[in-house]
Chains A and B, each alone.
Chain A
């Protein structure tokens, strides 16, 4: 026969208050990574902040007193303020171009690409080769006597060779070669994550292709686009090797990173160079924060709209 067990009446009404457990596992496991971030990232930041408040004396030694002199020097120097403008002039157009070009391409290819592995392997080539090599190769390929100009001349599109390196355009091309595959593959990833059923549903509800794109796909894409924009903008904002090699580092592409590097290493004024680097980081952070804020606002209004509609 089955042995019958029974529920006991409520015997233990006194609940001991469980002491808060110390999550040892979480602390121990994340400690090494946190140590790296603190020791090699946050500490240098604090160190840099401190360093940037000192100035050099005439012999190049760091003085004791703290001041904001480095920052006031920067903002009182028109040529330094120009570097901010130049940095934006270099970084913004190419970032926008990358995103705007990637969106329709990714949209067209959201259901998969033929020879995907092969094409993406070729696309990531510039990313894996790195900025220095691309810039170096551009000097030859896009030079006055390079294949690119030779081809254009041969098919009669141009008469005189175009000037494609050692100027602003050169930096833009270099950043485009580096950034476009990155942005395209990121946006393609987000795009293929949108369920095809949503698109079908939109069509079944009578929306045309345009309406479907603008009212279904695009809003769903926005968060991904914002992230892709941010990451690419960060990379473009601190362009350094390309600006030096294929730009005009003394004139039109004298971006903030060059100014910071030169102050710190060529003029041996590390406090000033650090100050410029931190200003650069601050401005970049503001742009990223603005984009992410707009993103979250749009996301909220989108969800509100959906709520009202329901």
Chain B
């Protein structure tokens, strides 16, 4: 297949009935890149992938491969490969026939076909002599996953599409297969588009992460970009910035902003939000931070708040506590500490400088991070 130099997606749209599942999706992909589409279910990431594959027709927009529009090319003529969420292995064909299914569409001597099948199965570490005659139903989940990948890469597709390929595996296998996918990407230098709702998968695999929301692109960047500098509250939320403190802007201070909480505490924060240049003192903002950046043991920082411990949970590397701020019962934050804390005891914690991000104020929607805290408080009050 013709290798990808550039793949340009311009204003790709797809409607289902009257609902727009995908709106004005535009993205440039260079050859060899690993791109991840990240977002919650229903954000349009799978629709985008299926449009790219050709399995869904576009309502509008174009897809340009190496300068040629391909949006009207049927899927079998695009030369892309796809690994499906449930693998979609042909249950009536054995392992070898599944892998050679795609090769049968090309004229090729039998000996070469056999060689390629063996090559592909070797690549995913599936022993052809042991498993070749088995049917998909006789394979474990991990082996099915490997077979699904082998069946796709045997055709040496110019673009590999993966639709939540790890979501059906248990935690341990998921970790293993994640490394396998990364290895295959490196070995074959395959241009890859990967769809997931799992931010840790996106972070560890990708060169480029595309965060999607309601059928539109919310932010594009490297994993480090997205993780450290979310440009909207939505992305921050998705990246685990679970703590939200309503604040009022006092003014800029050096590279940072000085804000004041509802109870008069002053904190230093930074902004990764695009429109922050227009902010004026008195502006209502939300200061967001990850639990791991709110440390009880953090010494000597100016960004300090205090409250009382409400609930303690062991999360592996540390303890995470729900802390109710003094003077403000409505505000509960997740704070980490190296040692367990006593319930109802007073506690003071520091926020790592540069890790408090400011966004325009939004009323809590009762979703996502809010949910986690309110679930905890309901459990406590019950």
Q: Do chains A and B touch in the complex (CB under 8 A)?
A: yes
Bound Cα distance from A158 to B59, whole angstroms: 79
Kindly identify, within residues 111 to 132 of chain A, every residue whose CB is under 8 Å from any CB belonging to chain B: none
Residues of B within 8 A of A8 (CB): 10, 26-28
B33 pairs with A12, CB closer than 8 A: no
Specify which of B11, B33, B207 is in contact with A11 (CB 8 Å cutoff): B11
Kindly identify, within residues 196 to 230 of chain B, every residue whose CB is under 8 Å from any CB belonging to chain A: 207-208, 210, 217, 219-222
Q: Could you list some 20 contacts between A and B, CB below 8 A?
A: A3-B30, A3-B33, A3-B207, A3-B208, A4-B208, A4-B221, A5-B27, A6-B220, A7-B210, A7-B217, A7-B220, A8-B10, A8-B26, A11-B10, A11-B11, A12-B10, A12-B60, A12-B61, A15-B60, A16-B60
A2 at interface, CB cutoff 8 A: yes
Q: Please tell me the size bucket of the interface on A.
A: 10 to 19
A10 at interface, CB cutoff 8 A: yes
Residues of B within 8 A of A16 (CB): 60
B35 pairs with A5, CB closer than 8 A: yes
- Which residues of chain A have a CB within 8 Å of any CB of chain B? 2-8, 10-12, 15-16, 18
Question: Which B residue sits closest to A10, measured CB to CB?
Answer: B24
Contact with A along B164-196 (1 / 0, CB 8 A): 000000000000000000000000000000000
Besides A4-B207, A5-B33, 17 more A-B contacts (Cβ < 8 Å) are: A2-B33, A2-B222, A3-B30, A3-B32, A3-B33, A3-B208, A5-B27, A5-B35, A7-B27, A7-B210, A7-B220, A8-B10, A12-B10, A12-B26, A12-B61, A16-B60, A18-B15
Interchain pairs with CB closer than 8 A, number: 49
B30 pairs with A5, CB closer than 8 A: yes
Q: How far is the CB of A5 from chain B (nearest CB, A)?
A: 5
A2 pairs with B208, CB closer than 8 A: yes
Bound Cα distance from A6 to B209, whole angstroms: 10
Q: A18-B59, A18-B60 are in contact. Are A5 and B10 (CB under 8 A)?
A: no
Residues of B within 8 A of A10 (CB): 24
Bound Cα distance from A6 to B222, whole angstroms: 10
B222 pairs with A4, CB closer than 8 A: yes
Closest 9 CB pairs of A and B: A12-B11, A2-B207, A8-B26, A7-B220, A3-B30, A5-B28, A7-B217, A18-B59, A5-B208
Bound Cα distance from A8 to B207, whole angstroms: 18
Q: How far is the CB of B8 from chain A (nearest CB, A)?
A: 9
Contact with A along B23-63 (1 / 0, CB 8 A): 01011111011010000000000000000000000011100
Residues of A within 8 A of B219 (CB): 7
Bound Cα distance from A216 to B60, whole angstroms: 50
Bound Cα distance from A4 to B219, whole angstroms: 13
B247 at interface, CB cutoff 8 A: no
Bound Cα distance from A2 to B209, whole angstroms: 11
Bound Cα distance from A6 to B207, whole angstroms: 12
B13 at interface, CB cutoff 8 A: yes
Question: Which B residue sits closest to A13, measured CB to CB?
Answer: B24
Bound Cα distance from A15 to B24, whole angstroms: 9
Bound Cα distance from A3 to B32, whole angstroms: 9
Bound Cα distance from A204 to B105, whole angstroms: 59
Q: How far is the CB of B10 from chain A (nearest CB, A)?
A: 7
Q: How far is the CB of A291 from chain B (nearest CB, A)?
A: 33
Specify which of A5, A11, A18 is in contact with B29 (CB 8 Å cutoff): A5
